[in-house]
Amino acid sequence: MPGFPALLLFLSLLCPARAGGLSLSPEALDSLRSAKVADREPALRELGDDPSDAAAELLEALCAGDLYVRRDNGDLLILRPGADEATLVPGGGRMPFADRSLLRKVGISNSRRTAVTAVLNRRLLRHADADVRRGAVESLRDDAAADKELLLSLLQNERDGRIRARLEQLLALLCVRDAAASRDELLRAAAVLGGASLPHAAQALANLKGHKDPLVAEAVDKALYRLRVTADRAAMLETLFFGLSLGSVLVLTSIGLAVTFGVMGVINMAHGELVMLGAYTVWGMQQLLPGRPGVALLLAVPASFLVAGSAGALLERSVIRHLYGRPLETLLATFGISLILQQAVRTLISPMNRAVESPAFMSGMLHITDNFSLTCNRVYILAFCLGVFALIYATMHKTRLGLEVRAVAQNRPIAEALGIDASRVDTLTFALGSGVAGMAGAALSQLTNVGPNLGQSYIVDSFMVVVFGGVGNLHGTLCGGLILGLANKLLEPASGAMLAKIILLTALILFMQVKPKGLFPERGRAAEN
Amino acid sequence: MAPERIAAPERGSPTPAEPAGARGSGQRAVPAVRGRSPAAPPALPEAMSERVLNRPAAVFLGCLAATALGVAVCSLLPAGAPLRLDGYVVSLLGKYLCFALLALSIDLIWGYLGILSLGHGAFFGLGAYVSGMHLMREIGGRGVYGNPELPDFMVFLNWERLPWYWRGSDNMLFTCLLVALVPGLAAFAFGRPAFRSRVSGVYFSIITQAVTFALMLAFFRNEMGFGGNNGLTDFKSLLGVSLQSDYMITGLFCASALALGLAFILCRVIVASRLGRVFVAVRDAESRARFIGYRVENVKLAAFVFSAVLAGLAGALYVPQVGIVNPGVFAPLFSVEMVVCVALGGRGRLYGAVLGALVVNIAKTFFTTALPDVWLFFLGALFVVVTLLLPDGLAGIPDRLGGRLRALRAKSGVEI
């Protein structure tokens, strides 16, 4: 029968599957048209009994506030936000419709909306797609009314292991709450809940604490202990992650300094302002490419390297070059430049913070477990930090430029005698360190406010990281930054953010008085002069 | 004995020492001892037996005394008299003198010992807070909340009683003692381990900056008991005399001038003495001084502590004239600003520091009121210009001109 598929296609065109096949009594339709939200009962009753997809769509539209009634002829139609095509109810015919002033929204009371959502969700529990099913099961967690029969029937038909585990946990929760549960049931439930990550599990178990049956009481205690350990571990992991994240920011801001100060020995107090320039590059790039923050951010990373790098090269050529061998003077001159740059940004752009958009891929969370999730932007910045570090490390140790830089740093006259253009190397090194500072700024623009004072807040920290790690090597800066970030976040819960910072600074000051050369002191002849 | 400067490489300097005279040619072959230009004549006087009141010192003290006397007299003229100085102006001048004293204390250790402290504002701030505490206690029941025992901010924070470190702050003599003791002890506690482990040069500068930064964060906290963000303010009187009265304003100004004069004489005494020679030896060739047998760390520590006491004194005199002290005095920028005052005036001269402080702060007052946007540009440019073009500062200009003149004369003499 070759005509049969064609006929099916024809039929499906005639009555679109989305809202087709829906039949509502006139009474139900009138209840939807009514201006009073309390009149919806007949329609809700009929739709709740209807297993069709069309009924589900109508209910969903009702809950989402996308169901409208036309003021002129009383037609009911579903109009999604932003769409210019409406679906007629019932019947499912689609028609272009843009004039929303003709429409009145069909409202629904909050209590009915909750009930309807539960009904809709229950339909999804038997959806063919395992991911949809899992989502539905997971949203059951707070649904105290989830009945045992339903869960048991679901469990029977379920093959997906994770969904089964979740269903078993929900059953265990019901069992623990059930006053009539037997001892064996309770014991099994406690064991299941001990490994569960349901938000209400701890509360439900705590209600059973000191149960008259010693075996049950013991099992409950054990389960509660396991839950607490998991929660503590998640909190610990979170602290560690935040510590690493802060550490990565510190490393990013100080790695350029590790090149200019650590390797070249130039004190650049304008380093923070180079970071600021990088952050403003992101802002500028987003102004150039409005509406595409992701592309702008990706383009801004190399751009910020170029902007800050050329600013650094200019700085080296015009000022720092004339002050080599006079570190204290370099410090003062670059401090002056940092003031000029700050004020320039204030005057030319604005004294206020600029809003930098976060592209979609930077926002959002990574859920590792139910108790532990990571913010995406911090994960990316951690990865970015490691990438930049690897890049700089490779540049310093695997390329010709790096070789020349190290040669000039170790013994300038001999390096020059061997044909290295030392002054060119100086400029390039300084530009490299400054460019990395700019890239750090690009990353920071995703975490903090972009304003004229951005650099100021990092300059003391960056110098501390470099000196703490040991001047003259890059891995010291990496270790130093991560250690300081971790220490800061580990201290914070006990002492508060401000005090943690003060304690850490004090500890660093004391550390440097005992070991002025830092964690990884330079050794050998180069360290002596 | 000729005051030859010994060309020794500075610790951490990447270049070995080379003979002087390469400056200006864009090379980096600079001995770089304490970062002064080697081409400039050393600021050392000729002989070992230097007079405390040599000519510049006498001229400076004369100028200071004359100005102070003039201002004092003019400020006490009856209102409406043509030369009468307003109380506001006198307070402002007094504030400049306090900054000058702070700059003097920085010059003592930077110019003569080569120790660049980027955190001298910390000692200034400690002295300021000690004096502010006394002024706070003197408000007594005249505060907004009328609590005779507790300062307003403590009442506001619902504190029950004074913290222990506020005890005795109502006593004037005890406060005067603390003004010297607190910064001195702080400098001792910080300086002793630092100098012992030979933290020097840039590292010392960075650590001092971290110290003042940490103090700033700490004083921002309300829990510290120093008024947090707002600091201590709303003072009424000192020794029972209103801070607004002409006599008090003039008295404070004279006290500042006197303190500056005495501190200057004391510094001159130290610098002209044998100890002063050791200072310069440590600055120019630390290792040699150590090998000869001087306990370099003790010399540095003594100078550092004395300098901190002077800075604390400056802070203590600053507060009643300005009427407020807040954590801003611990801001790293404030300290660096004072350092650039010294650099502008000319290091290693003492009077240069005073000159620089006056010039910079008068410029600051002018710019922040007339052209606030330009001030940071000006200050930043000052940093760059002074370090690049005026390594000896304003006070060095006559010497440089004199030197050039002499060279010119010698040259023409040869030609003739």
The DSSP string of A140-209 is: TTT-TT--HHHHHHHHHH---HHHHHHHHHHHHHHHHH-TT--HHHHHHHHHHHHT---TTHHHHHHHTT
Residue A450 is classified by DSSP as B
Quote the minimal CA–CA distance from B44 to chain A in Å.
20
Amino acid at B132: G
Distance, in Å, from the CA atom of B248 to the CA atom of B121, rounded to the nearest integer, reads 26
Taking contacts as CB-CB distances below 8 angstroms, the residues of chain B near A340 are 376-377, 380-381, 384
Does some domain include residue B373? yes
DSSP B30: -
pLDDT digits (tens, 9 = 90+) for B317-341: 999 999 899 999 999 889 988 998 8
**Residue B189 or residue A126, greater confidence:** B189
What is the C-alpha separation between B128 and A397, in angstroms, rounded?
Answer: 51
Helix (H, G, I), strand (E, B) or coil at B197: coil
Structure confidence by residue, pLDDT tens digits, B158-201:
888 888 888 888 888 999 999 999 999 999 999 998 898 888 77
Q: What is the pLDDT of residue B157?
A: 80
Overall average pLDDT of the A264-284 stretch:
89
The whole-number average pLDDT for the span A296-324 is 91
Peptide bond into A90 cis (omega under 30): yes
Q: How many residues does chain B have?
A: 416
The verdict on A323 touching B (C-beta cutoff 8 Å) is: yes
Q: What is the nearest CA distance from A466 to chain B, expressed in angstroms?
A: 11
Rounded to whole angstroms, the Cα distance separating B58 from B56 reads 5
pLDDT at residue A88 in the model:
76
The verdict on A511 touching B (C-beta cutoff 8 Å) is: no
Question: Do A332 and B205 make contact, defined as CB atoms within 8 angstroms?
Answer: no
Residue entry with tokens 């679109």: A16
Confidence of residue B28 (pLDDT cuts 50, 70, 90): very low
Q: What is the pLDDT, as a whole number, of residue B393? A: 82
Q: Exposure pattern of A394-429 as b/e (b: 16+ CB <10 Å)? A: ebbeeeeebebbbbbbbbbeebeeeebeebebbbbb
**B35 to A340: CB separation less than 8 angstroms, yes or no:** no
Share of chain A above pLDDT 70, in %: 89
- Can you tell me the mean pLDDT for A224-232? 84
* pLDDT tens sequence across B256-279: 999 999 999 999 999 998 899 999
Determine, yes or no, domain membership for B43: no
Flag the least confident range among A199-213, A222-236, B89-103, B385-399.
A199-213
Please tell me the distance from the alpha carbon of residue A168 to that of residue A301, in angstroms, as a whole number.
48
Nearest residue of chain A to residue B23 (CA atoms)? A322
- Closest of B48, B52, B39 to residue B1, by C-alpha: B48
- Under a CB-based contact definition with an 8 Å cutoff, are residues A315 and A429 in contact? no
Question: Which residues is A15 bridged to in the sheet?
Answer: none
Q: What is the distance between the alpha carbons of residues B199 and B286, in angstroms, rounded to a whole number?
A: 12
Distance in Å, alpha carbon of B186 to nearest chain A alpha carbon = 13
Q: Which residues of A touch B387 (CB under 8 A)?
A: 323, 326, 329-330, 332-333, 336
- Residue with more model confidence, A102 or B379: B379
Q: Which of residues 301-320 of A touch B (CB under 8 A)?
A: 319
- Given this model, what pLDDT does residue B101 score? 94
**Is the Cβ–Cβ distance between B13 and A327 less than 8 Å?**
yes
* C-alpha span between A321 and B66 (Å, rounded): 44
Q: In this structure, are residues A393 and A474 in contact, taking their beta carbons and an 8 Å threshold? A: yes
**Residue B91 maps to a domain:** yes
Q: Which of residues 386-415 of A touch B (CB under 8 A)?
A: 409, 412-413
Q: Is A24 helix (H, G, I), strand (E, B) or coil?
A: coil
Which of B211, B360, B383 best probes binding to A when mutated, by most A CB atoms within 10 angstroms? B383
pLDDT-based confidence at residue B73 (cuts at 50, 70, 90): confident
What is d(CA B416, CA B411) in angstroms, rounded to the nearest whole number? 9
Helix (H, G, I), strand (E, B) or coil at A96: strand
For A329, the closest of B190, B336, B387 (CB atoms) is B387
* Lowest mean pLDDT across A77-91, A437-451, B191-205: A77-91
Residue B310's nearest CA partner among B266, B268, B349 is: B266
What is the percentage of chain B residues whose pLDDT exceeds 90?
31
Contacts of B30 in chain A (CB under 8 A): 324-326
User: Integer distance in angstroms from the first to the last C-alpha of chain A?
Assistant: 95
In this structure, what token pair is assigned to residue B50?
């230097």
**Is A104 in a helix, a strand, or coil?**
strand
The domain total for chain B is 1
Q: Cβ A343–B198 below 8 Å, yes or no? A: no
The answer, yes or no, to whether residue A377 has pLDDT greater than 50, is yes
B225 backbone φψ class: left, alpha, beta (φ>0; ψ -120 to 50): left
Of A332, A340, A529, the CB nearest to B340: A332
CB A426 within 8 A of CB A313: no
The per-residue pLDDT for A16 is 40
> And the tokens for B141?
């029941």
Of A79-88, A374-383, A402-411, A492-501, which range is least confident? A79-88
Q: In chain B, positions 29-48, which contact chain A (CB-CB < 8 Å)? A: 29-32, 34-35
Closest CA to B250 of B134, B82, B91, B62: B91
- Mutation for testing the A interface, residue in B34, B203, B216 having most A CBs under 10 Å: B203
CB contact (8 A) between residue B380 and residue A347: no
What is the average pLDDT across A439-459?
87
The complex's ipTM?
0.76
Answer whether A503 touches B (CB < 8 Å).
no
- The rounded distance, in Å, linking the Cα atoms of B16 and B141 is 65
Distance from CA of B413 to the nearest CA of A (A): 34
A2 contacts: CB under 8 Å, gap ≥ 6: none
- Which runs of E-coded beta strand occur in B162-250? 232-233, 237-238, 241-242
Closest among A25, A37, A33 to A71, alpha carbons compared: A33
Residue B272 lies in a domain: yes
The nearest CA of chain B is from the CA of A245 a distance in Å of 22
Asked whether residue B28 is assigned to any structural domain, the reply reads: no
Bin B26: left if φ > 0, else alpha if -120 < ψ < 50, else beta. Answer: left
Are residues B30 and A328, on separate chains, in Cβ contact within 8 Å?
no
The residue among A363 and B370 whose pLDDT is bigger is B370
Q: Over 70: is that where the pLDDT of A511 sits?
A: yes
Using the predicted structure, report yes or no on whether residue A201 has a pLDDT greater than 60.
yes
Q: How high is the pLDDT of residue B49? A: 57
Answer yes or no: are the C-beta atoms of B303 and B76 closer than 8 Å.
no
A210 has a chain B CB within 8 A of its CB: no
Residue B14 lies in a domain: no
Q: Provide the b/e sequence for B306-342 (b: ≥16 CB within 10 Å).
A: bbbbbbbbbbbbbbbbbebbbbbbbbbbbbbbbbbbb
Q: How far is A513 from chain B (nearest CA, A)?
A: 5
- pLDDT band, very low/low/confident/very high, at A431 (cuts 50, 70, 90): very high
More confident of the two residues B216 and A355: B216
A409, A499, A506 ranked by CB distance to B14: nearest: A409
| Candidate from A338-352, B169-183, B224-238 with smallest mean pLDDT | B224-238
Q: pLDDT tens for residues B107-127?
A: 999 999 989 898 999 999 999
User: What tokens were used for A2?
Assistant: 């070759």
B377-381 contact pairs (CB < 8 A, 24+)? B377/A339, B377/A340, B377/A343, B377/A344, B379/A336, B379/A339, B379/B337, B379/B340, B380/A336, B380/A337, B380/A338, B380/A339, B380/A340, B380/A343, B381/A336, B381/A340
- CA distances (Å), A334 to each of A122, A454, B363, in order? 66, 17, 21
Residue numbers in B near A512 (CB within 8 A): 199, 203, 207
Helix, coil or strand: residue A89: strand
Q: What percent of chain B has pLDDT over 70?
A: 87
| Among the listed residues A525, A381, A527, A503, the one whose alpha carbon sits nearest the alpha carbon of residue A441 | A381
Residue A5 has pLDDT above 60, yes or no: no
**Residue A297, pLDDT above cutoff 80:** yes
Please state the rounded mean pLDDT for residues A139-149: 61
Question: In chain A, what residues touch B210 (CB-CB under 8 Å)?
Answer: 460, 463-464, 505, 508-509
CB contact under 8 A, B13 and A328: no
What is the torsion angle, in degrees rounded to the nearest 10, for the CA atoms of residue B250, residue B252, residue B258 and residue B259?
A: -160
Mean pLDDT of A512-525: 74
- Reference B50, options B293, B283, B267; nearest CA is B267
Give A145's pLDDT tier (boundaries 50, 70, 90): low
The separation between CA A368 and the C-alpha centre of its own chain, rounded to angstroms, equals 12
Range A93-112 average pLDDT: 75
Burial class (CB in 10 A: 0-12, 13-18, 19+), B206: buried
Confidence band (pLDDT; 50, 70, 90) for A140?
low
Residues in CB range of A205: below 8 A, 6 or more apart: A176, A190, A193, A220, A223, A224, A227
**Domain-embedded: residue B170:** yes
Q: What is the pLDDT of residue A378?
A: 86
Question: Can you tell me the distance from the alpha carbon of B244 to that of A239, in angstroms, rounded to the nearest whole number?
Answer: 53
Cβ <8 Å between B214 and A506: yes
Q: Judging by beta carbons within 10 Å of its beta carbon (0-12, 13-18, 19+), is residue B12 exposed, middle or buried? A: middle
Residue B234 belongs to some domain of the structure: yes
B198 interfacial to chain A (CB closer than 8 Å): yes
- Which tokens hold the place of B122? 């910390």
CB A31 within 8 A of CB A41: yes
Domain residue limits at B291: 52-415
Nearest to B261 by CA among B46, B69, B130: B69
Among A461-470, B4-13, B224-233, B398-407, the minimum mean pLDDT is found in B4-13
What phi and psi values does residue A28 have, to the nearest 5 degrees? -65, -40
Amino acid identity of residue B230, one-letter, is N
Q: What is residue A105's three-state secondary structure? A: strand
Q: Give me the residues of B, 202-221, that contact A with CB < 8 A.
A: 202-203, 205-207, 209-211, 213-214, 217-218, 220-221
Which of chain B's residues have a Cβ under 8 Å away from the Cβ of A516? Answer: 197-199, 203
Give me the pLDDT at residue B413, please: 65
CA B26 to chain centre: 32
Q: Does B8 score more than 80 pLDDT?
A: no
Among the partner-chain residues B14, B201, B373, the one whose CB lies closest to the CB of A412 is B14
